[in-house]
Structure 1
Amino acid sequence: MKKHTTQLTSKSIEGSGLPTDYKKAIAEYIWNSFDANASIVEINFRANGIQAIQSFSIADNGTGINFSNIADTFGNFMVSLKANSFSDTGFIKGKKGKGRYSFSIFCSKAKWDTTFISEEGHYLNYIIQINREEIQNFQTGDTSIKKNTQTGTKVIFEDFYNLTGDLLDNEDFEKYLANEFGWFLYLNKDRDYKIIINSRPLNYESVIGDSEDRDITYGDFVFKISFLRWNEKIGDKYYYYFLNTDKKEAYRKHTSFNNKTADFHHSVYIESSYFDSFKPTKLDHPVLDQTFNQSDPVFKLLVENLNELVGQKEKAFIRDLKAGELIESYNQRNIFPIFGSNKYEQLRKDDLENVVKELYSVQPKIFQNLSIPQSKTIVGFLNLLLDTDQREHVLSIIDNVVKLTDEERRELSSVLKSTKLSQITHLVRFLENRYTIVNILKLLVFDLKKFTDERNHIQKIIEENYWIFGEQYHLVSADKNFEILLNNYYSHLENNKKKNEKIDHVNKLKRPDIFIARKSEIIDTNDSDSTVEENIIVELKRPSVIIGNDQFQQVERYLRFIIEDDRFNSVTRTWKFILVGTKVDDYIRDLHVSQKEKGKKYLIQSIRNYEIYAMTWDDLFRIFTIKHKHLIDKLEFKTIVIEELQLKGINLDKSGSDILTQIALSKDKTILVDGFADDDLPF
């Protein structure tokens, strides 16, 4: 062996910033192998029963160490022939020439068994050796011609201390190598680059949570983009790495996408010949040699595309992974309200979880660092709001708390819009309220009839819930005289009404109970080219009154009043007068029979476009039950609605229940409900 003496001392080498951890030291040798154009790096070690290392080497299939340059490589320190090197940190791993001394932290001797191609084309092999005691010097053996045609270098370590077999045969060691070299192996996966540990390839994919490759073209340049999301933190900041044709880093730029969540660990690598002559600059004009730089339009377009990609990845990561973890945590800590086991309650639970997920995706910080009571307060508030018709107001509230982008606002809005659950919720509440109103009426006209009168009890309910006579009508007046009724009527139906109308009639102060009208025009059954407007006047009778001739005559006087006043009786309007009471006498039943050929149930008189109907409360309640049961039967979620209504004490096949009666009696006011459109009453 020939000894080579340098001007260095062991103290100057040891004080130069060599790695202090065996994992980093080993990584230096692996990077040296890849810097030497290796595609395969093999780590082999063997230990005895007490974990003392018996052999340890790192071999590669790189270009080897040219003996003719040995004085400029091993002979120099802090200077290297390597102009640049592969790196995940931007620092050039091999350019200072320090890596070869890293062995000194865990063993006393290192030998490089290397094969290279000489200028004459021969495969020459020789040995380089460094001892820790004389680390400033190195020794070389004579070169010999190798018969095989394979270049490469094998570093053999001997005389170990501070290193045992269990430190190499260790999950943490392999995870460190995967984090250190994962990006490089991923970018070179098509070229089958590998790190092999005791005949087993390093599983670098284990540290990658998500990856995507895509190519984009701007002008004459193709950019190969590789997005990697790491399972663990790789640094305080995250970068776009711009690589040239040789996959060497030409420039890097912060991604600025680690603000929403601390767990979005990512790197983006962009390979292109565009970066072969790339020169980063903060100037707003091209550099003098006209090479490409940050102010170039192509580079600006590229960065815009990269920002869009990472933004999408961040959103998907938060929504699909982190939001799921939040929901699981909330369920474990009982943050969510308690929901029943029936299908409707489970749909409500799913809806609340979806909204929490979407809100978390838009702005995770809303839910971070909260105590359990604070978390329950936010989730409870959302649950209450989602269970009303005001669910879309969540967007306005959140928008006042955090600044939403247009895209975030659109996505959140789509989640908050009417869904199957909100339809079910609205329908259940709609039906519950309607059945409650009907049950209140039943109590008044059947159970409390001794105390009930039409004006103070029944009429007050009907005027707020006139849907019972048809969804399509508009309330014109309730318990008002004909003079007020007329003006209300014109105000609703006439577009050009300018002043109140006066009526000169003996019956102008008569007060029909309910006057409702439909402003929208319908086809005239007698003339398909014409349309008519429908009007209904309802006369309600207290339970003690049996509808007979006297009541019929009262309504007929209303009819005559309308007929005799030209301002009321346009032939383009139809008028229906409805008498409602607990019972009808034989006189009314005979009138029903007399009008039977008209095919309209409950009809007792028909004159031109005027009709009078008489019916019982039981008739009206039966029509209500049939129509609303038919509505439910047409729903795809019929079972869920029925289950929920039954939990609220509403059985669609019965007149009511004790629970519903209690609900009805506990109401301090009637409920006006916006209705679902359904069929008319059969008159």
Structure 2
Amino acid sequence: MARVTVKLSRDHLQGLIRSPLQGLTELIWNALDADATEVAADVERGGIETIRSVTITDNGHGMTEEEASRTFGALGESWKRSAAVTREKRRVLHGSNGKGRYAAFGIGRRVSWSSVAQDDTGERKQIVISGSQESLDEFDLPPVVPTSERSGTRVRIEAIHPEAESALDRPSVIHQLATTFALYLESYPAEIRWQGQLVDPKDLQDFREEYDLTEALGDGRRASVVVIEWKKPVRRALYLCDADGMALHDMLPSVQAPGFDFTAYVRWQGFRELGHDILLADLGHEAMAPVIEAARDALRRHFKERIEAKRSEMVRRWKAERSYPYAGEPANEIEASERELFEVVAVSAAKSVEAAETSARKLSLRLIKEALETNPSNLRTVLAEVVDLSEEQLKELAQLLQRTPLTSVIVTARMITDRLAFINGLDALLFDKAPKQQTLERRQLHRILAEETWLFGEEYALTGDDDRLLVVLRKHLELLGEDVELAGTEPLTRMDGTEAVPDLVLSRPMQNRDNRLEHLVVELKRPNVTIRRKELQQIEDYAFAVGKDERFNQPNVHWEFWIIGNKLDDYVTEEATSPDRPPGVVKQTKRYRVIAKTWAEVISDAKHRLKFLSDSLQYRSGRDEGIEYLRRAHEKLLPDALKKDES
């Protein structure tokens, strides 16, 4: 028995081993380069979940003893190196350096090649070559023997790697083979079978289109890109092919196309001429960059048109079966934008949505609509758990929505309309007779406003909610960004010795040259409480407690203390309208000021801030919309008078 040794380091040879699926693909390419018209890849199982061996059989011209010795003895010595086309059928060759045989070791540790070829005398002879992953630089070549079998090669791989068992035991393998050999099988008559099933790209294709890139390149060289959309999930790839459609390299398409499973094939002879430099395509090789970018531009135009056509067709069908969750025409621009964004998302999830029964489809579309309307951040959960989109599909959709102007428009519009509705709902809560009598300060009003702090000013962010003032002060020190600790742990107290407990604390850090930091402390009162001297004194106690504490005796810190109720009595009204102070200010020092406001003033100020935006959106909200918003956002906190009538 002869043994040939490859004159390269084992580390170098180890680097030629590919992934299991790439290994399978390379072995099929080897068969096609040998003029095979029939290639069959099969697995032999040793149990329900165990693959014992993988075999690839072809009817090509096989290898003679001389060719086997030369091919397995050194890299780059394959007969393909000096040829551009196959021997008999004159097909374009895929490989040329003899590296493909090492791809087999990506599937298993032991590989044997049994090949039958016709020698110079016209006699068919068989040779069996074997090798193992443990000795990649050595192959056993026993003498050839005469045979009556037909020409061809059978590659048998054993001692299958666990990762190969997992990769090759998936239904998607046949789809991947279809995408890889799609253009080749269009050009040349050949049959490829995977576990007995014919690899038929046309049967798996959903849509196909080709675009000429010659004019876009401007150098007169012929180039085009073929886009194939598939009926089944596939690994998206942009294949770089020669002019005959032979795939030489693949890379990521880098094109957003939610809802589409596709591959694209750039045909350009320059890829063949660049040889090994084609591996630099992902790095933006200057010779390839223009044709690749032209192909991507064509893909973007293609999917823009396809998404629009698909959306129109699906919406028409959903309306016909009454699955579409909107009725009638949009009432305003906000609703029109919401529908447009809904349709973008629904089309992205179309394959999963369309696969369901009508009732399930109706539910899925309604949940998508509600997620977009109430909280777009919930959309991911709906699409993952209800529509069952993959993580890759979810990621792509998220990227698309981030780049879609409609998303920010709708989110902003929804925020504005919700705020306008809340103002009307708050008006009903505070001034309608029954809700006014039933609303409790801490259990209801306080908790609702803790979620709607924008009401007091867009610049405020909630930093404390019903905390001891001592905790609030600690948070205040942290906001200063200084290495400052509170001196002692005693509670902060009012003048009468009781511990201070504010209702709601908001802070506003002011970024200017003085590093000014402002705090707002809000004291909320029940709607039926008139703010009198006693209530005013309470908020002044808060102000005094902070103002006298040396821990906050810093020139860049300012505090505002508000007390808010439905009515101010004559004494408080007179204090709040003093001509020597701004409106509402009842006390002012260098470090703080105390302000008394009515809910009518707070609501009026909020309406004024939103007026321009509401006028621009042409949106009007009334009492009913306001109560509906409160029920949707704060139902558990509402008084009985505003809760839904379950009957």
Question: Which of structures 1 and 2 has the larger relative contact order (alpha carbons within 8 angstroms, sep 6+)?
Answer: 2
Normalized per residue, the structure richer in helix is 2
